[in-house]
Amino acid sequence: MNTAAACCETEPAQAPANTSRIGLIVPSSNTTMETELPELFRRQSQATGHRYTFHSARAGMKRVNREELAAMVGKAADCAASVSDADVDVIAYACLVAVMAQGPNAHVGSEQTIADAAANNGHPAEVTSSAGALVRTLQEMGARRIAMVTPYVPALTQTVADYIEGAGIEVVDSVSLSVDNNLEVGRLDPQQLPGIAQKLNREGVDAVILSACVQMPSLAAVQTAEDQLGVPVITAAVATTYEILKALGHTPAISGAGRLLAGDLVPAVK
């Protein structure tokens, strides 16, 4: 038996010193997270020289309803063990509303479940979730009042609003695009988002969430919306990227995606 070949089949190769491995857990119908995040990290690489690779596990979910969201949450541990086989440095659980629909502060338990599964599989990793990343990033920015755009039906948008408000952040206004087919969410035109955001009640808001969903494409519109609205603009994907960089100990240096990822955090509101 060829010992070297056997080792190659059972042990992931160690990443080079200037490379970080990012694990993603995404809904099976997600088509956006695995395009927007690599593009954001490509810009980070361009600015810093550090390289990032992506490794995904998929959990079945086609329609954005409470039953399928709950089923996806139940698959988190198995997905975490699977993606940790690649010896990733950080794992991002990328389905915001699946976690938020489980109740207040549910991201804490979800992130712990994923961390435990990876560690028990012999490959411990830092963990974030798009739900946790969004509320923690808003808190770090000092945002007390926000407005947001979601692709969800109104009832799920209210679930997201309640979750954010449970973290001490007032949701002044929201827009629901009422798309429940996750593939169709991924086909929405991001160029429409700045115009939609312009219609939000933004009086006294500290930030706008342009896409409170990792499946709704938004990267192409973040900088435009921020320039037009005059307040910080983030998305679920932007917040997840920010927390991945923090977990890796890397300073954000990403162009064209708003002030947060450019490394210019907004001071806390007094």
Could you read off the pLDDT of 117-146 as tens digits, one per residue?
A: 999 999 999 999 999 999 999 999 999 999
pLDDT tier, 269 (very low <50, low <70, confident <90, very high otherwise): very low
- Give yes or no: 95 in active site: yes
Residue-by-residue DSSP string for 19-84: EEEEEEEEETT--SHHHHHHHHHHHHHHHH--EEEEEEEEE---B-SHHHHHHHHTTHHHHHHHHH
Say what angle helices 106-120 and 130-141 make with each other, to 10 degrees.
120
- pLDDT (0 to 100) of residue 65: 54
**Is 242 annotated in some ligand binding site?**
no
**Is 26 annotated in some ligand binding site?**
no
- Mean pLDDT rounded to a whole number for the chain: 89
Domains present along the chain, CATH in parentheses:
20-130+239-260 (3.40.50.12500), 133-235 (3.40.50.12500)
The tens digit of pLDDT for each residue in 61-84 reads: 545 555 655 566 667 888 999 999
**Is 215 annotated in some ligand binding site?**
yes
Query: Of residues 68 and 192, which shows the higher confidence score?
Result: 192
The tens digit of pLDDT for each residue in 21-42 reads: 999 998 878 889 999 999 999 9
Asked whether residue 173 carries a pLDDT value surpassing 50, the answer given is: yes
**Is 192 annotated in some ligand binding site?**
no
Asked whether residue 89 carries a pLDDT value surpassing 70, the answer given is: yes
- pLDDT (0 to 100) of residue 6: 44
- Residues 34/26, Cβ–Cβ less than 8 Å: yes
**Is 95 annotated in some ligand binding site?**
yes
- Give yes or no: 213 in active site: yes
Q: Is the dihedral of CA 49, 50, 56, 62 positive or negative?
A: negative
- pLDDT (0 to 100) of residue 181: 86
Determine which of 51-60, 62-71, 146-155 has the lowest per-residue pLDDT on average.
Answer: 62-71
Choice among 7, 8, 79, 213 that is catalytic: 213
Mean pLDDT of 174-201: 94
